């Protein structure tokens, strides 16, 4: 399995006015489960197709273990790719599909590897069938298994591989895939627009937006220390709350109220905080930002307390907190943000540090 490095990689489709990818630089460690997370049009699939060689070489460099493969055709790169919807050879059995990438190896080696990978992905019972006899989920499992059979593979690319799966099966399939990735030490890059898939599968996640990588980090770091305003809003469920604010001296203000301290140049900013980093209380007295509580949503209970989401309006901005619901009612309220968890952005990017 390869270590992958992208150096200032860009790509523009013929006739397009703007670049689909612009100046991407990224290191993917050998044996890492890496996710590319972004909305539709962010450039995720384009990047996969550049890595596999399905798209022609582009400005910038693609290195596998220090070797520039950007001008190589697909086969010598030793990359396998699983697409959003499974692509199998209909005239072949499942066993023959799995063996196809190893057709240059001895037959005994092929059989041994097919059995091993089939067992890991629990498709042994399907080996004698043809694709027409499989469900959509079974086809995708076979497609993933085929991507793993070639023993000299450098990189496994997965382009929205669980789209075909029913929601009830996605968690199990994702855990199976993660276990296989760890056992084989495979370098995998997993493309998805679903943050749950990315955060529960990957060792590290790269967030793409408008053809650029905004941040690459472990899932927890993306949630707690977003480097860009889009990362804070896009990652998390619900996403980060964002308020117009101001840095004045060492004080951070929102709505004219001091809510914390920050070491940053004075001027306007955007104040971000996760729903669980703040609390809403009913009533118009006490400290905190004055808001109007507009609704609640119960999510569960813990130690006889209801837990859920509380929605409020601060001027024209909607706020959501995740908290205990006891004593909360619609009407006037106060928003209290944990000052040590404040994240501030300017021109989209995170600024400053806690004072």
Q: Which residues pair with 208 in a beta bridge?
A: 213
Place of tokens 């709505």: 255
Structure tokens at 198: 């990315």
Q: Would you say domain 4-226 falls under CATH 3.30.70.20?
A: no
299 Ramachandran zone, left/alpha/beta (phi>0; psi -120 to 50): alpha
Q: Does residue 74 contact residue 150 with C-beta atoms inside 8 Å?
A: no
pLDDT at 350 over 50: yes
Which whole number is the average pLDDT over 332-351?
A: 94
Q: Which of 266, 262, 265, 259 is nearest to 335 (CA)?
A: 259
- For the chain, residues classed under CATH 3.40.50.300 are 4-226
Question: How far, in Å, CA of 182 to CA of 192, rounded?
Answer: 19
CB 155 within 8 A of CB 1: yes
CATH 2.40.50.140 domain span(s) along the chain = 241-351
Largest CA distance in the chain: 79
What value does the mean pLDDT take over residues 190-215?
94
pTM across the whole model: 0.89
Q: Which is nearest to 318 in space by CA: 234, 242, 228?
A: 242
Q: Are 296 and 312 in contact (CB under 8 A)?
A: no
Between 285 and 300, residue with greater pLDDT: 300
pLDDT value of position 353: 61
Decide which of 3.40.640.10, 2.60.40.10, 1.20.1250.20, 2.40.50.140 is the CATH code for 241-351: 2.40.50.140
Q: Kindly report, residue by residue over 104-115, the tens digit of the pLDDT.
A: 899 999 999 999
């Amino acid at each position: 399995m390869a270590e992958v490095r992208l150096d200032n990689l860009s790509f523009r489709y013929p006739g397009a006015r703007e670049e689909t990818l612009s100046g991407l630089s990224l290191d993917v460690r050998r044996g890492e489960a890496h996710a590319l997370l972004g909305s539709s049009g962010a450039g995720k699939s384009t990047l996969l197709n550049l890595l596999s060689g399905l798209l022609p070489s582009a400005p910038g460099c693609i290195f596998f273990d220090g070797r520039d493969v950007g001008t190589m055709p697909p086969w010598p790169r030793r990359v396998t790719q699983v697409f959003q919807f499974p692509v199998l050879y209909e005239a072949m059995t499942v066993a023959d599909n799995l063996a196809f990438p190893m057709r240059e190896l001895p037959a005994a080696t092929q059989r041994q590897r097919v059995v091993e990978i089939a067992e890991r992905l629990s498709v042994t019972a399907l080996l004698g069938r043809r694709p027409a006899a499989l469900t959509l989920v079974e086809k995708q499992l076979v497609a993933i298994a085929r991507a793993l059979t070639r023993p000299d593979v450098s990189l496994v690319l997965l382009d929205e591989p669980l789209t075909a799966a029913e929601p009830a099966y996605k968690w199990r399939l994702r855990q199976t895939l993660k276990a296989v990735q760890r056992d084989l030490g495979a370098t995998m890059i997993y493309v998805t627009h679903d943050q749950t898939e990315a955060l529960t599968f990957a060792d590290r996640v790269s967030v793409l937006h408008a053809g650029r990588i905004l941040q690459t980090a472990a899932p927890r770091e993306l949630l707690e220390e977003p480097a860009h305003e889009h990362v804070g809003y896009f990652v998390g469920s619900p996403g980060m709350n964002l308020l117009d604010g101001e840095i004045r001296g060492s004080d951070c203000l929102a709505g004219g109220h001091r809510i914390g301290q920050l070491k940053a140049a004075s001027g306007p900013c955007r104040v971000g905080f996760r729903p669980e980093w703040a609390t809403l209380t009913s009533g118009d007295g006490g400290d905190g930002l004055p808001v109007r509580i507009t609704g609640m949503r119960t999510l569960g209970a813990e130690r006889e307390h209801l837990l859920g989401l509380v929605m409020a309006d601060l001027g024209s901005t909607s706020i959501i907190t995740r908290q205990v619901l006891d004593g909360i009612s619609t009407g006037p309220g106060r928003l209290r943000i944990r000052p040590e968890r404040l994240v501030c952005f300017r021109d989209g990017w995170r600024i400053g540090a806690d004072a």
